[in-house]
Structure 1
């Protein structure tokens, strides 16, 4: 297995691709049609910066996690710092090689409002199979943002440079959020199937012995069951039902708790343990938060 190449700085990225000095130490825009991709097969790469890449063709197939990235359809991928990608099998043809990459270090945005907003851009933690497939219009919109950043980087740095660059990055990310929303709408039939699968899994979990055997279900557990990343599943459920993955888990848990409270003589503590809670007070707190009543108040009123 080849060693991991870790890129700590934007300068490291330029050196990896044999490029000249970078215009800015914390942000770069690369035109992939002008980059000679000579990274060896099976090379694993991690970075300390954010990567947003759009390509129609890649000399190397890129593997992220355990899945290959298919750039041939013109998809966009967003990778957070410290994630691992692997350059996999080479493709012989170099025809129609094109695309761009925007790379920026967290230090660029650390003192800005965008730093706090980054956690809202959940697509940075999506699996590659959940990449964003862009229409021609969407490609042009994102490309205009990238061109604006490129132009700004080629100007002399002044007191306005960082604000302009950061605000344009934020604009691009907001468009990505919009386009992901569009993609989820256009895949609504598939999404509804996933919603049904999730609800079936939760129903089975809370109405069988699985809860006592496997414990409280997590968002990660649900995501693995339907072969999605936790972030993508949560966003999909929110788009389709108005409730994210954690809220779905809580809904089925509370419904199961209500049934047990009404149809059994078990104590609240016993019910809490049976539903996978290590501490009954957490069950009491969640039940009241979701229903406005304590478990005992619900039982007595019912």
Structure 2
């Protein structure tokens, strides 16, 4: 698979006009000749595609806007040219990962999990949201096409970061609008977690990560995590550990087996780690829970 290291390489590969900035570009005109081979890049990509009037509406889940969609692509993602090509009302924003170096976004970019969502987990925006995103893009475009100076990068980054913060808000709105999907994802996760604990897989396979549960629902790990955090206030890791401690309390109450064996049964390789987690979550060590006073606490 071809890897494109620079913004210029990406533009050449896709038949786009050369970028005005070697580290950042905004593209709204696309070549009809798309390369077929898949590729990856060192750039963050934002794809905004506004549905044209007269186009048939896509078949979307209940509660989903059909005005168009945004997709966010992380550096290193395996993609095709078709995945980032948009219609006449759309655009693509390209930012090389080094464009953020020395800036706040160099660290905070990792908190915008939607860059690692699957295509099916795109943001389907409302009309007012599309207007706001387009407005921010226009402000970045002014800096992009004007003669750059010492202020240009900071101004572009301020609008870029504002766009990401708005998108995070819009995803929360989408989770709320698609409550049937959100509820379904949450219920299936609970069911899969209960099955995993009851089946003895903890002892054989260890404590599962978000990727395990995401694969069962054909979701990206970050999307699953964000949906569950929206729904429950807890991450996948939090929910798994809460369930493990609940099971530990059950075993401590009803079983004579040792704390070491309980820790092993629950997927902990070291008893010390289990004891520390139990103490952190319950406020006292597991051996105390076995006393009448501990069980009443």
TM-score (norm. length: structure 2): 0.88
2:68 matched to 1:77? Answer: no
Residue 78 of structure 1 aligns to a residue whose secondary structure is strand
CA shift for structure 1 position 73:
6.0
2:124 matched residue in structure 1: 133
Note closer, same or farther for the CA distance 1:97–1:154 as it changes in structure 2 (3 Å cut): closer
2:54 matched to 1:37? Answer: no
1:188 matched residue in structure 2: 179
1:264 matched residue in structure 2: 255
CA shift for structure 1 position 88:
6.3
Provide, for residues 274-294 of structure 1, a one-character-per-residue CA deviation record: whole Å limited to 9, x for no partner.
Answer: 111111111111111111111
Confirm or deny: 8 A CA contact 1:53 1:102 kept in the other structure: yes
Residue 265 of structure 1 aligns to a residue whose secondary structure is coil
Structure 1: 5+ residue runs without aligned partners?
58-71
1:86 matched residue in structure 2: 80
2:206 matched residue in structure 1: 215
1:14 matched residue in structure 2: 11
1:111 matched residue in structure 2: 102
Confirm or deny: 8 A CA contact 1:17 1:37 kept in the other structure: no
RMSD (Å) for aligned C-alpha atoms? 2.1
Confirm or deny: 8 A CA contact 1:9 1:48 kept in the other structure: yes
2:42 counterpart (44, 48, 51): 48
Point out the structure with the larger strand share: 1
Confirm or deny: 8 A CA contact 1:207 1:256 kept in the other structure: no
Equivalents in 1 of 2:40, 2:214: separation in Å?
Answer: 24
1:278 counterpart (245, 269, 282): 269
Residue 85 of structure 1 aligns to a residue whose secondary structure is coil
2:230 counterpart (207, 217, 239): 239
- 1:20-31 aligned within 5 A: 20-31=17-28
1:102 matched residue in structure 2: 93
1:68 matched residue in structure 2: none
Confirm or deny: 8 A CA contact 1:268 1:296 kept in the other structure: yes
Note closer, same or farther for the CA distance 1:20–1:199 as it changes in structure 2 (3 Å cut): closer
Provide, for residues 132-173 of structure 1, a one-character-per-residue CA deviation record: whole Å limited to 9, x for no partner.
Answer: 111121111111111111110111211111110111110011
Provide, for residues 37-72 of structure 1, a one-character-per-residue CA deviation record: whole Å limited to 9, x for no partner.
Answer: 31233x102100100011247xxxxxxxxxxxxxx9
Equivalents in 1 of 2:148, 2:169: separation in Å?
Answer: 31
Note closer, same or farther for the CA distance 1:264–1:185 as it changes in structure 2 (3 Å cut): same
Confirm or deny: 8 A CA contact 1:28 1:102 kept in the other structure: yes
Equivalents in 2 of 1:243, 1:290: separation in Å?
Answer: 14
2:169 matched residue in structure 1: 178
Equivalents in 1 of 2:261, 2:15: separation in Å?
Answer: 64
Confirm or deny: 8 A CA contact 1:215 1:276 kept in the other structure: yes
CA shift for structure 1 position 80:
0.5
Residue 164 of structure 1 aligns to a residue whose secondary structure is helix
Residue 33 of structure 2 aligns to a residue whose secondary structure is coil
CA shift for structure 1 position 209:
2.5
Structure 2: 5+ residue runs without aligned partners?
52-65
